[in-house]
Structure 1
Amino acid sequence: MGAGDWNGDGTRDTADVLAYARIKSDGTLEPFQLSAVFPGTPDDQSIGAGALVNAGGGNVYYYILGGTSSGTDRVIYTKLNPTNGTPGPWSVTTSISGADWFNRAAVVGTTIIEANGNLRTTRDARYATVTPATGALSAWSAPTTYEAGAGHWDYAMTNARSGGNDFVYILGGAPSPITTVLKTQVTAGVPGAWTPTTALPVDLRRVTAASVDNYVYVCGGTTGTSSITAAVSTVQIGTVAANGDITWSASPANMPQARGFGGAAIVKAADIAAGVGGWEMY
């Protein structure tokens, strides 16, 4: 799933729907469909953070937090049909603490952790809890600084689990491509202090990441100072230890195209070993 400019006019003003597709048993996708238009005026929420929360009991929600080039603090969400995964009507819930875009989010259980993007100048994160029966968010926590300095965007954010412990990571980013990786352990839905862990093997910005079990996959990104040049096709695989530290290795199978500012998702069909198979384009 992902929000974006779906009428092809090249403007962010039309980023007002969610595109989604069902996954076939062989991993390929059915044709994409579009959700109902986002509520409100203006209704666009481009390049905001996304979060998918399985709250149990058939209650699965997708959230879009912030977005648009002028910035919004609005949070909208939809409940997914438990039978076929289609999104339902959109609702508005508790706003993030300040208008932003290029922000990021990760999920542990029913906790959403959201971190700053291009408009909020402090490098901080906060969290809110999902009400399982309704999908509404609690009030957001007070912000916690994850790193000293001002301005940080174009990074990846994901979660992983190892040794029964849950972690959230912030990887790479801008204004210049960096290798820094930061982690926090989430206990009973509450993130702890942020600390550095093993840096990425290469400087990356406009990068994306996904995780399954105790593996983190960092896909593509750009290595130049420009956000739209020097895209790479590499995949870095991180193995997460029980204390949250990461050991990095390069995937034996790069993507068939260089990709920057993309998205990544993993659907787990069975237990896996570290690594990726051959890539397919379709």
Structure 2
Amino acid sequence: MISGTLRGVAFDLDGTLLRSDHSVSAEMRSLCAVLSRQGILLTLISSRPARSVEEIARGLGLEGPWSALNGAIVIGSGREILDRSPLPEATVERLLARYGRDERVSLNLYAGFDWIVQAVDVRVRVEEHIIGFAPTVDAGFASRPVTDKILMITDEATGGAWLAQELEALDDDVAVARSKPNYIEITRSKIDKGRALAFIAASRGLSAREIVAAGDGENDIPLLKASGYPIAMGHSPQSLKQVAELVVGSNDDDSLTDAIGRIFGAARSR
């Protein structure tokens, strides 16, 4: 047991808490139940849409708050939006004008609990399968609401490094991060998972330094940097491993479950 002053755990979802089939293992579910009974704060901080994160949180019996859209919104247990930092409208307009007809990119807009696309293509269908629900189709984004996040999906074969570089040079009003090699997450400047962690911790009278955080992507770097005990998955990029206190194995082998169990003195019997 090495918990010391640690009082909570923040999980990234895909590639971290979730297995490759997008489920949570029975062992992790059991550990979460044990930690919840001990009064440990358990939260989810994901780039997924709010509706998807909410479903997973409720399935684990988590009280909240939790965060979606790469930290752009924080949601309470009653579905209320506790914190929200939408993209500037002028920035959204510029991005849609530049990439709205670029066939190399699938544009996805997220507003609160809504996911909006202008057409359903192969890349959108893959995302639909992952998160478990279909988007609203609005050709040309004619009636879009205030936008919290834009996700740009490129083809897996080419990746999204070229697009991330273009976006970083395009506008200083946005934060650009990759949750997968071909998934480019765009939020308002200075909005990221680390900020969301600090907000969630403070809402429970805690500091982010009292929270264990686990992730596997480039967009998890701010999350791990903000936490008191950062954990990276074995398949994480080197940039994330460099900021981790501990590197575990795969999201399919329960090595993360074992590590968190040891931290809080709740290791599973074998």
Same fold (TM over 0.5): no
Relative contact order, CA 8 A, sep 6+: which one is greater?
2
What TM-score comes out, normalization by structure 2 length? 0.29
What TM-score comes out, normalization by structure 1 length? 0.28
Which protein has the bigger helix share?
Answer: 2
